[in-house]
């Protein structure tokens, strides 16, 4: 009986910890992905608001600042932003920003009504035809009906056409007003460090008859900032072993910011979720100090080219040679199909250990291996010889780099199991 009571107590106790962890993670995701954080980009200082919040969490847990007496590491980047109006009408009908269209991240500001010349993708298969088209479009927009059976194109033709599209987007020698790309693909936004000569509007083809489009009305306020100072958030906890070896937990907190003053990209999965994972470890290790010194790096500037992690390895605030292992969390919010481990095949012994830990307690449905891929912040460290994984969850909601990556629909299905697995993994060093 005593034993039974004890085990009931233990169960309810661990349930208590479990419930608190996931509630905290949800709160972090909800906060970071809320409108007040402006999509954690550079318009309206979304990055500053987010980094201040994270530093506040570091402080609450008693982390040591890693940069002298500061939790921040400043660095500069160039960025094209959309802080003001962004409005698009086709034939006088207003489109919904983010849902019906995206303004390509490099677009310059543009105001006015312009004539539209519609062409099928297939027309772009010769240089003469493209030049002829541009000549005709001098004061007009070209609308490219992008999906005219690309499957029928041979490899040469396909290459020619995609080169022509690149030229229509970016070639400064071609003089016409702008490009509209009409597509059936999912609308996926990005953020870019340059501004191009003419606007490119990507329009969702659904419910649209491209041939009927005669004019476009634009009111797009974009501002290029050649030097914007953003910041990483950096802190550490001393380990109990007295060793000077370090474990590093990283996640980028930045996202795509604003596309006009009415639309923001919440980035709940990318990467409020990974930041929530990092902060969950901050909290846990503050409560129960780890064996090794643990450095926490929350990066800015990831989406624009892994720039926060680049700045860090160029000015490291911890000895890179003393890092036993780094785990970078990016896209931590689903997990219905388990996780994928970038660099798993490079650091195979650690990958095998992770897989075994997972099998032991049936934590995640799958732990899949992947080779090297320079697609998140771990890469900058890996290039400097730091043993590292980048892990992302798989399955569940497919929202990515769009207005639908919202906290309300991010399940955090396997978050607790994921946290427990990684906790065991870190403890094994």
Among 21, 104, 270, 377, binds Zn ion (CB under 5 A): 270
Of the two residues 47 and 146, which places its CB atom closer to Zn ion in the complex? 47
145 scored as a contact of Zn ion (CB under 5 A): no
100 scored as a contact of Zn ion (CB under 5 A): no
377 scored as a contact of Zn ion (CB under 5 A): no
Q: State the minimum distance, in angstroms, from the CB of residue 330 to Zn ion.
A: 4
269 scored as a contact of Zn ion (CB under 5 A): no
Q: How many residues form the binding site for Zn ion (CB under 5 A)?
A: 3
Q: State the minimum distance, in angstroms, from the CB of residue 29 to Zn ion.
A: 14
* CB-based contact 79:42 (threshold 8 Å): yes
Of 20-28, 269-277, 333-341, 385-393, which segment contacts Zn ion by CB under 5 A?
Answer: 269-277
Q: State the minimum distance, in angstroms, from the CB of residue 277 to Zn ion.
A: 12
Q: State the minimum distance, in angstroms, from the CB of residue 400 to Zn ion.
A: 9
Q: State the minimum distance, in angstroms, from the CB of residue 410 to Zn ion.
A: 14
Of 52-60, 207-215, 289-297, 324-332, which segment contacts Zn ion by CB under 5 A?
Answer: 324-332
∠ CA 316-322-324, rounded to 5°: 115
Q: State the minimum distance, in angstroms, from the CB of residue 167 to Zn ion.
A: 30
104 scored as a contact of Zn ion (CB under 5 A): no
Of the two residues 232 and 271, which places its CB atom closer to Zn ion in the complex? 271
271 scored as a contact of Zn ion (CB under 5 A): yes
Q: State the minimum distance, in angstroms, from the CB of residue 49 to Zn ion.
A: 18
Of 154-162, 195-203, 208-216, 268-276, which segment contacts Zn ion by CB under 5 A?
Answer: 268-276
Of the two residues 237 and 272, which places its CB atom closer to Zn ion in the complex? 272
Cα–Cα distance, 101 to 205 (Å, whole number): 9
Binding mask 19-58 for Zn ion (x = CB under 5 A): ----------------------------------------
Of the two residues 200 and 306, which places its CB atom closer to Zn ion in the complex? 306
134 C-beta neighbours (distance < 10 Å), count: 18
Per-residue tokens: 241: 């072993």
Non-local CB neighbours of 344 within 8 Å, separated by 6+ positions: 351, 354, 368, 369, 370, 371, 389
Of the two residues 66 and 268, which places its CB atom closer to Zn ion in the complex? 268
Residue 45: closest CA among 170, 276, 167, 228:
228
Residue 323: closest CA among 392, 426, 254:
426
Of 5-13, 156-164, 326-334, 394-402, which segment contacts Zn ion by CB under 5 A?
Answer: 326-334
* CB-based contact 333:277 (threshold 8 Å): no
Cα–Cα distance, 80 to 303 (Å, whole number): 13
- Could you tell me the end-to-end alpha-carbon distance of the chain, in angstroms, rounded to an integer? 38
How deeply is 366 buried, as exposed, middle or buried, from its count of CB atoms within 10 A (0-12, 13-18, 19+)? Answer: middle
Of 92-100, 177-185, 270-278, 420-428, which segment contacts Zn ion by CB under 5 A?
Answer: 270-278
Of 174-182, 265-273, 277-285, 421-429, which segment contacts Zn ion by CB under 5 A?
Answer: 265-273
330 scored as a contact of Zn ion (CB under 5 A): yes
Of 100-108, 267-275, 334-342, 401-409, which segment contacts Zn ion by CB under 5 A?
Answer: 267-275
Of the two residues 118 and 393, which places its CB atom closer to Zn ion in the complex? 393
Q: Which residues sit at the interface with Zn ion, rule CB under 5 A?
A: 270-271, 330
């Amino acid at each position: 009986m005593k034993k039974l009571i004890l085990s009931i107590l233990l169960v309810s106790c661990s349930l208590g910890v479990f419930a608190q962890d996931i509630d905290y993670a949800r709160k972090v995701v909800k906060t970071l992905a809320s409108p007040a954080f402006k999509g954690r980009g550079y318009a309206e200082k979304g990055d500053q608001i987010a980094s201040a919040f994270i530093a506040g969490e570091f402080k609450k847990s008693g982390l040591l600042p890693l940069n002298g007496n500061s939790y921040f590491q400043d660095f500069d980047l160039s960025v094209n932003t959309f802080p003001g109006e962004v409005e698009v009408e086709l034939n006088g009908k207003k489109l919904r920003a983010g849902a019906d269209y995206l303004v390509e991240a490099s677009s310059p500001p543009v105001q006015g009504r312009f004539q539209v010349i519609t062409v099928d993708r297939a027309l772009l298969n010769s240089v003469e035809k493209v030049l002829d088209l541009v000549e005709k479009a001098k004061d007009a927009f070209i609308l490219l009906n992008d999906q005219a059976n690309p499957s029928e194109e041979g490899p040469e033709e396909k290459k020619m056409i995609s080169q022509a599209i690149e030229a229509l987007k970016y070639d400064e020698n071609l003089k016409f007003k702008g490009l509209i790309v009409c597509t059936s693909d999912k609308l996926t936004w990005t953020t870019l460090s340059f501004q191009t000569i003419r606007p490119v509007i990507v329009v969702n083809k659904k419910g649209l008859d491209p041939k009927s489009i005669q004019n476009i009305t634009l009111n797009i306020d974009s501002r290029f900032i050649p030097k914007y100072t953003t910041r990483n958030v950096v802190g550490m906890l001393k380990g109990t072993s007295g060793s000077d070896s370090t474990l590093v937990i990283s996640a980028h907190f930045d996202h795509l910011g604003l596309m006009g003053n009415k639309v923001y990209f919440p980035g709940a999965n990318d990467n409020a979720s990974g930041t929530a994972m990092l902060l969950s470890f901050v909290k846990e290790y503050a409560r129960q100090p780890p064996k090794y010194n643990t450095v926490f790096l929350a990066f800015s500037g990831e989406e624009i080219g892994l720039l926060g992690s680049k700045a860090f390895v160029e000015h490291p605030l911890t000895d890179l040679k003393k890092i036993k292992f780094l785990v970078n969390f990016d896209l931590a919010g689903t997990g219905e199909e388990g996780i994928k481990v970038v660099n798993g095949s490079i650091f195979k012994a650690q990958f095998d250990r992770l897989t075994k830990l997972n099998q032991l307690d049936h934590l995640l449905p799958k732990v899949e291996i992947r080779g090297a891929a320079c697609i998140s912040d771990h890469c900058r460290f890996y290039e400097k010889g730091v043993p590292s994984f980048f892990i992302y969850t798989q399955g569940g909601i497919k929202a990515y780099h769009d207005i639908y990556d919202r906290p309300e629909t991010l399940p955090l299905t396997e978050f607790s199991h994921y946290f427990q697995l990684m906790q065991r993994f870190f403890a094994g060093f």
